[in-house]
Structure 1
Amino acid sequence: MLTFEQKQAIIESFSELTKKEISLKRLNYHYMDSLYEKTIVVEKLHPNGNGFVFVGDLLRYENEANDKGLVNIRDYDELQLREIIEDAIQYLSEEVEEQEPIVEIWNSRDGSQLQLAFEQRSWNVYHGDNLEEAFGTYEAAKEYLLEEGFRTKK
């Protein structure tokens, strides 16, 4: 496992990333030229070596990424860390092809209604016009909605 200092040196070799210190001596690294609202590439890099890289819904990482599109890099070696950061930067640099939006209406037993919409590579859950949650995959969004007691008619 790479040390915090080794990971930091590798990450900082990417000149397009900007370091920002956050709480508990952790660091975030932002890609300020992102085409999306999401700019954090490396999130919560901790002195114990733990940290995350945002990969969104890249299929290459579907078995590693959590429902927020983050991959834990604690046990990554140098080559793996460089590759995932390159992939993350490329992901945030690519235009998403315009497509017909996918929208589903989900209802709860008490009559509450949420909208699930696929927009720019993410599955967003809305309550009215307010964004409630965003997910990298449909399955993660569906699981969230089901856990919250919502169902959809197909």
Structure 2
Amino acid sequence: MLDYRKKLSIIESFPELEKKEVSLGRVNFQYTGSAAEKKNVVYHLHPNGNGYVYAKGLEDYEPDKKGMVNIRDFSEEELRAIIRKSIHMLSPEGVYESHTAGGVDHEIWINDRRQTLEIVFEHDLWNVYAGDLLDGTFRTYKEAKEYLIEEGFHPGHS
């Protein structure tokens, strides 16, 4: 386990993060360039080595209900990786990627009868169009994709 000073040194090596002292000797590190409401990347790093990193929505992590992952037993490599991923997720590019299908904001889907539908990310929603006609609106890409699959469509080319 890394001690407090080593964790602090690793976290401070990220120039995007700004240190904020909180109670009981703990510190937070905020990503001021965050495009999301969330700003804290590192939360309540304690002199005993305990602390949390925001990881809601990141693959390979199981965050608590606040989206935090405990970093008490993380290695240097693990700590650097989760912080890098957290910063990216909160960056304008990361926010866009999470709202779209990995950065793709439209796709053409086709069925066996060669009919096509277009799925488009517009105004924070996924719309499905048959030509100029709106066929459906969905909150997430996953919901739109499930609908298209149920209707017998599969991804074509964009």
TM-score over 0.5 for the pair: yes
Give, in angstroms, the shift of residue 9 of structure 1: 0.1
Whole-Å Cα distance in 1 between the matches of residues 32 and 17 of structure 2? 7
Q: How does 1:1-154 map to 2 (within 5 A)?
A: 1-61=1-61, 64-93=62-91, 94=94, 95=96, 96-97=99-100, 98-100=124-126
Which structure is higher in RCO with an 8 Å CA cutoff and minimum separation 6? 1
TM-score (norm 2): 0.60
Give, in angstroms, the shift of residue 45 of structure 1: 0.1
CA offsets 1:15-59 (integer angstroms, 9 cap, x no match): 000000000000000000000110000000000000000011223
SS in 2 for 1:60: coil
Runs of 4+ in structure 1 over 6 Å off: none
Whole-Å Cα distance in 2 between the matches of residues 88 and 73 of structure 1? 13
| Structure 1, unaligned runs of 5 or more | 101-117, 120-154
Give, in angstroms, the shift of residue 99 of structure 1: 2.2
Whole-Å Cα distance in 1 between the matches of residues 59 and 82 of structure 2? 12
Number of corresponding residues: 101
Whole-Å Cα distance in 2 between the matches of residues 36 and 87 of structure 1? 14
SS in 2 for 1:35: coil
SS in 1 for 2:125: coil
Whole-Å Cα distance in 1 between the matches of residues 59 and 2 of structure 2? 25
Give, in angstroms, the shift of residue 60 of structure 1: 2.0
Q: Percent identity?
A: 49
SS in 2 for 1:5: helix
| Structure 2, unaligned runs of 5 or more | 101-123, 127-138, 141-158
Whole-Å Cα distance in 2 between the matches of residues 89 and 75 of structure 1? 20
For the pair shown, which has the larger CA radius of gyration, 1 or 2? 2
TM-score (norm 1): 0.62
RMSD of aligned residue pairs (Cα, Å): 1.7
